[in-house]
Amino acid sequence: MAYKMLVVDDSQPMRSVIKKTIRAAGYGDADFLEASNGREALAVVGESWLDLVVTDYNMPDMNGMEMIEEFKKDAVLAGIPVLVVTTEGSLEKVEAFLQMGAAGYIKKPFSPEQIREKIVAILGEPHGTESEEGDAELDF
């Protein structure tokens, strides 16, 4: 079963870069949904269960911090991990994201290795990467 992820950024090219980077980081079978701001993201999460939300901070209409605040008001949405990927680099902002409940933070520009490290810490290893050799000895 593939992970289902929502990428939230007001830049369509950046959403494409983030998705491509996540795939290159070992999550090639991930199913992606997209939103261009926090308000659109709230509509998407109302219709689909997600394993992870990857969001920018600076967006029109509803920024990433406001979106996380709205997630935390709902018992179901509060359980969805949110990874913030942004150009915002001040220590105060990073601490604010984490205090709001973000599962992690990555500063743009980023590498597939950085994305992989953060997502593995949140979700675990990508599906299909575990060794199957040990399974041959199991007798069901």
Cα dihedral 65, 89, 44, 37 sign: positive
Closest CA to 84 of 131, 130, 38: 38
Q: Domain 4-126 in CATH: superfamily?
A: Response regulator (3.40.50.2300)
Domains of the chain: which residue ranges?
4-126
Q: What is the pLDDT along the chain (140 residues), one digit of tens a residue?
A: 689 999 999 999 999 999 999 999 999 999 999 999 999 999 999 888 899 999 999 999 999 999 999 999 999 899 999 999 988 878 888 888 899 899 999 999 999 999 999 999 999 888 654 433 333 343 33
pLDDT at 127: 67
How far is the C-alpha of 48 from the C-alpha of 118, rounded, in Å? 23
Least Cα distance to 44 among 60, 56, 32 occurs for 32
Report in angstroms the alpha-carbon separations of 67 from 17, 97, 123, 125, 134: 21, 11, 21, 27, 42
- The pTM for the full model equals 0.87
Please tell me the predicted confidence (pLDDT) of residue 21: 94
